[in-house]
Amino acid sequence: MTTPVLLAVLAGALMHASWNALVKVGLDRLLGISLIQIACGALALLGVAFVDLPQTAAWPWLAASALLHVGYNLFLARAYRVGDLGQIYPIARGCAPLLVTLVGLFALSERPTWQGYLGIALLITGIVCMAFRGGRKRRPDAMALNSALTTSVFIAGYTLVDGLGARANNDALSYVVWLFLLNGLVMIGVLGAMRGRSAFLALGDYWRMGLIGGGLSISAYGITIWAMTQAPIALVAALRETSVLFAIGIGVMCLGEPLQRERLLAGGLILGGVVMTHWG
């Protein structure tokens, strides 16, 4: 991996952690996440004219991904409502590659190497430490923990679906642009059904935050897609999970979350486990 690609992936990881931090600022969590997803859709609309329509084979994957993203957004909002960024983010992001690896092991008969098994062990250890020792309280908040774990299931689901969908489309950029547009439209419908028209009026004062978060989200995903054309996919995916450590740092410096030794240790274990599972 060249230095420019390395720096780009690290920047993408920081962007991903940063838009998650924006959800914790200002609006309630559901409105915050909805605002960012709607802004992503608006930005994607600007790019539709420059990409091709998805191929017929890709539409079922796009539809499935949009539904999975709804679950992801709802449970992530619920988790952030009661939990810290520095605790929720590592659990949700760390469990996802673990689940993908386990699906490959049991459903696709993909046997990891010893590095893969070591990575699974590190991930489980780190997630347990983060869940039970990484919060403000001695005992974990059950709602925050359950929501973070459920969020990771949706992350693993849309990761697998989007990988297959981009391959079916034979054009990753077109797939990403249409996916963000579709996600934005779906979240408009979901927010309207859950909160009514008044919810959209509440978003008006925060449109700048939405555009910033949407720009960060699209940029982070776009960098990842580009980097995977320049370097080994497994290496890019593993390096991207440095966002776990960025999230802990943002939580401490910007959100006033405690800098705990247990949280740093758990974050390091999760990051190490992600790297090992991708290499294995």
Residue pLDDT, tens place only, 209-262: 888 988 998 888 878 777 866 776 656 666 777 787 788 788 888 877 777 777
pLDDT at 280: 57
pLDDT band at residue 135 under the 50/70/90 scheme? low
Taking Cα atoms as reference points, which of 274, 200, 276, 199 lies closest to residue 241? 274
DSSP state of 205: G
pLDDT band at 206 (very low <50, low <70, confident <90, very high): confident
- pTM confidence score: 0.79
Query: 142 Cβ partners below 8 Å, 6+ apart?
Result: none
CA distances (Å), 228 to each of 100, 108, 136, 221, in order?
18, 23, 37, 11
CA distance 254 to 249: 8
Vertex 129 angle, CA 262 and 122, to 5°: 110
The answer to whether the beta carbons of residues 94 and 274 sit under 8 Å apart is: yes
Stretch 190-208: mean pLDDT = 83
54 in helix, strand or coil? coil
Range of the domain at 111: 3-279
> Across the chain, what does the average pLDDT equal?
81
**Binning pLDDT at 50, 70 and 90, where does residue 5 land?**
confident
What is the number of domains present in the chain?
Answer: 1
**pLDDT given at position 181:** 94
pLDDT at 279: 63
Report the length, in residues, of the chain.
Answer: 280
- Is the distance from CB of 183 to CB of 37 less than 8 angstroms? yes
When pLDDT is cut at 50, 70 and 90, the band that residue 2 belongs to is confident
Closest among 135, 19, 130 to 73, alpha carbons compared: 19
Q: How much is the average pLDDT of 5-9?
A: 84
Q: Which of 86-90, 204-208, 228-232 has the lowest mean pLDDT?
A: 228-232
- pLDDT score, position 180: 93
- pLDDT bin (cut points 50, 70, 90) of residue 188 is very high
